[in-house]
Chain A
Amino acid sequence: MSYTITLDAVTKGFTDATGKRRTIINDLTLKIKSGAFGLLLGRSGSGKSTLLNLISGLYVPEKGKIIVGDTEVSAMGEARRDAWRSAHIGYVFQTFNLLSPLTVLENVYVPGILAGTGSPADRKAAVDILKRLDLAEEAHKRPFELSVGQRQRVAVGRALLKSPPVLLADEPTANLDAESAQVVREAFLQLHKQGTTVVVATHDPVFREIAHTMSFDVSTGEEVQA
């Protein structure tokens, strides 16, 4: 199944605290092919995160269309977008990826159950994934007991378990130690190899060293050469 991501003349803005309208993304057209490892480049505030939220259907564009595979995300209602997202999208944020009252292990498999896509049987797979991510010892700790790098690895573990058709990540390696960043990158590459369409908004130059990645300028939507 194809999961090509297409943005067609998309505009999205917000009203800031002073009541002024600020356009973040203006008439952007962009296409990321199914199964690609896409990197979104651009200054801070250029709209990378907004773009990810538009693709995932968390945001609805003011103008234009967003199509993922054969689904026009921008045309669906909120509940349907929630359902679609839970079935197709994996998400890794820069920080604040975990539910604070759950343990590390639960954070890997419980959100899937609550989203309606996972099952309690995922627990076993979650244990394996934590082992691979060198988090076996932390399985029953709570997020506040972990380092920033460990927390990010848990979020990646959750994405690995879900193995979604589309993985979106927002600065997943920022503020991480080199080792944790490497674990995150390798996990993404693994998903990419399994056929997941990966879209990462990042400043991390190491991502660009990964073979077959495509970089896009968020302001123009053009593919840029490394």
Chain B
Amino acid sequence: MKHGYIIRLAWRYLRHRSFATIISVIAIALSLAIVTGVGLTNFAIKKTAVEGSIRYPLAVGPGSSSSVQVILSTIFHVDKPTGRIPFSVYEELAKDPRVVKAFPLAVADSLMNYPIIGSNEEFVEDIGVGCMEGKIDFSKPFYTVIGFDVANRMKMAVGTKYYAAHGMTGGHGAHVHKEMEYTVVGVLNPTGGPEDTAIYTSYSGVWLMHKLQLAHGHYHHHDGEEEDDHAEDGHKHEHEDGHHEAEDDDHDHHDKHAKDDDDHDHHDKHAKDDDDHDHHDKHAKDDDDHDHHDKHAKDDDDHDHHDKHAKDDDDHDHHDKHAKDDDDHDHHDKHAKDDDDHDHHDKHAKDDDDHDHHDKHAKDDDDHDHHDKHAKDDDDHDHHDDAHAEKDHDHHDDGHHDDDDDEDHEEDDYMLLDNELTAVLVRTANPAFTAALEREWTLKHGTQGVDTARAIRSLVGYLNKGERLVEVFGILTLLVAIIMILVTLVMSINERRKELALMRSLGIGQKTIALIIMWEAFCITLMGAVVGLAAGHLLTWWGQAWIKNIAGIGIEPFVMTSMEGLALVLTLIAGQLLALVSMIWTYRMNVIEEIAKE
């Protein structure tokens, strides 16, 4: 009975200084909310990953990307696919007796960040939830089946027609596939997983879309309309230029051009250096041209490149400068692209390394020796080419071929044309086959097999490290919150010295007074814990759509995680310690002296 009044008075004191109380509660709640939110997200990531790896034990992706990247793009439907594999990979896998089922994936476009996954009807049927509206039907090229969240948030239904954006980022300045519109023919039931935020279509539709884009793009390019079409964004502009460049590298295009080079890598390089006639035409004119800088940038780069391989280094300083650059390749490739780019200087300004490089060349311009070299380069194409060919071979041997390819295109990973996929998901008959297939496909040229379960284990291991880190941060914020509360409590006790003295004079004992203070401390931590856990779950619930969108995982916001249990226990223990400290503080304070101060 008396205790009820003690708690009541404690509560009144908390209300009495409500501002300090609210701040204290928020401080505790914040640290708990963070821990809860991260715990839930981690839990969901692991769950999605594990479920995905059970469903598709093997993924075969481009040799250039990491296993985690393959997992992210195939199972979570996030992150851009990094490279292509030929359609024959799928055909081969589908025929393999060890394979139960193989699914082709061609991912290159998106609608407002929702990835468009080119596959087949089987793959969508394999999700196993069926359509809540319409049906899974890829009988026409641009028929799409959309995930539950896509339908809800984009207000799309069966029959809705829409344009998609090229690439995975969407947004401002991305190329919009105005070539052809997609049609929604089905809406999937919710899965709670990454399928909810995905759009499915046929891979052949994806190929056709890009073929149309190329045809379309060319038209615009020659019309000089691309600036209108491709937005104010210089970056995107380059990107668009990149497309044209990419064509030169493209196998398909290659076929059309009927180049006699059997070596792809070699060809890729040639596409840059030699096949680009436009470029060479400019080259010829260059030395007296006001565009000199651009050309020099290019040529010197080539030259440097050449130097390196031909071991013909005239200019140490120059060479060193280049040696400092990340990767000659990259550098080279960029410049190759820049040649077509009237925005060249902007590009340079954006890129510190390049900028230096440019300055250097500005200096070199006055140097006739350099011009001589330059001339030599122009005249000495064969040599140059050989050097490159050699280099490419080196790279190939190093297994870096696909990196090359990747960087050549830079943002053209999305340019999928006939018979190109980004990955194949495979269900194997048993784990031994998974291991065998993983090995086989990794040994093959240009592809890698990914044991999804193992890749996910490494991903989860990594996440666990992150989780530990977050736990440490959570505990630190909790500690800060506790210290803050301790300070406000001690301050409030000090402010209340007179009142405490009055209580004593009214016959209220030390113990009772200490209990009141203890309850105040306890109530604050308890409220902080409750508010924090509730806020953590509610914020996760509120943000789950966003998390699903960026991370491809469906969070169950109202699951209790072990992390939050730990946080709760720690908070309550901390609350008790807090109460104890404030109790001791009250005890050792001689409030009676207050009465003497008259």
A residues sitting closer than 8 Å to B (CB atoms) are 14, 49-50, 53, 56, 58-59, 78-79, 82-83, 85-87, 89, 91, 93, 96-102, 110-111, 113-117, 119-120, 158
Contact = CB atoms under 8 A, between A and B. Distances in A.
Given A102-B12, A119-B1, A85 B505 contact: yes
Contact of A102 (B9, B505, B508, B512): B9
Interface in B310-351: none
A14 B6 CA distance: 33
B214 interface: no
A82 B510 contact: yes
7 contacts: A59-B596, A82-B509, A86-B507, A110-B9, A111-B507, A113-B2, A115-B506
A117 B5 contact: no
State the majority secondary structure of interface residues on B. helix
Contact of B6 (A79, A91, A100, A114): A114
Contacts of A85: 505, 507
Nearest to B591: A58
B16 interface: yes
Nearest to B2: A113
Interface residues of B, number: 25
B470 interface: no
Given A53-B595, A58-B592, A111-B508, A99 B1 contact: no
Interface string B557-582: 00000000000000000000000000
Given A58-B595, A102-B12, 5 more contacts: A82-B509, A82-B510, A87-B507, A96-B499, A102-B9
A111 B506 contact: yes
A27 B206 CA distance: 106
B505 A58 contact: yes
B598 A114 contact: no
Nearest to B15: A101
Interface of B: 1-2, 5-6, 9, 12-13, 15-16, 498-499, 502-510, 512, 592, 595-596, 598
Contacts of B13: 101
Nearest to B505: A91
B507 A50 contact: no
A56 B9 contact: no
Which of A87, A91, A101, A117: most chain B Cβ within 10 A? A101
Contacts of A56: 505
A59 B15 CA distance: 33
A49 B598 contact: yes
Contact of A97 (B9, B15, B502, B510): B502
Contacts of B499: 96, 99-100
Contacts of B596: 14, 49-50, 53, 59
A175 B199 CA distance: 81
A159 B508 CA distance: 14
B595 A101 contact: no
Contacts of B506: 86, 91, 111, 114-115, 158
Given A53-B595, A99-B499, A102-B12, A114 B510 contact: no
A149 to B, nearest CB: 19
B592 A83 contact: no
A102 B516 CA distance: 14
Contact of A78 (B1, B498, B510): B510
Contacts of A91: 505-506
Nearest to B496: A100
A105 B592 CA distance: 26
Contacts of A87: 507
A96 B498 contact: yes
A13 to B, nearest CB: 11
Contact of B504 (A14, A82, A97, A117): A82
B508 A114 contact: yes
Nearest to A170: B598
A82 B509 CA distance: 6
B5 A110 contact: yes
A86 B505 CA distance: 8
Nearest to A14: B596
A197 to B, nearest CB: 17
Contacts of A120: 1, 5
A200 B499 CA distance: 22
B584 to A, nearest CB: 16
A52 to B, nearest CB: 9
A79 B510 contact: yes
Contacts of A116: 2, 507, 509, 512
A49 B5 CA distance: 30
Nearest to B512: A114
B505 A100 contact: no
A188 B16 CA distance: 32
A89 B1 CA distance: 23
A58 B597 CA distance: 13
| Top 9 A-B residue pairs of the complex, sorted by shortest distance between their CB atoms | A86-B507, A101-B12, A115-B507, A101-B16, A82-B509, A111-B506, A114-B508, A85-B507, A91-B505
B504 to A, nearest CB: 7
B12 A114 contact: no
A212 B592 CA distance: 33
Contacts of A100: 16, 499
Contact of B503 (A59, A99, A119): A99
A199 B15 CA distance: 37
B81 to A, nearest CB: 64
A158 B1 CA distance: 20
A116 B1 CA distance: 10
Contacts of B16: 100-101
Contacts of A110: 5, 9
Which of B1, B499, B505, B592: most chain A Cβ within 10 A? B505
A206 B17 CA distance: 40
A14 B9 CA distance: 33
A74 B24 CA distance: 43
A86 B9 contact: no
A162 B493 CA distance: 27
Nearest to A119: B1
Given A96-B498, A101-B12, A101-B15, A113 B509 contact: no
Contacts of A98: 502
B595 A83 contact: no
A173 to B, nearest CB: 16
Contacts of A114: 2, 5-6, 9, 503, 506, 508, 512
Contacts of A53: 592, 595-596
Contacts of A96: 498-499, 502
Given A100-B16, A110-B9, A58 B507 contact: no
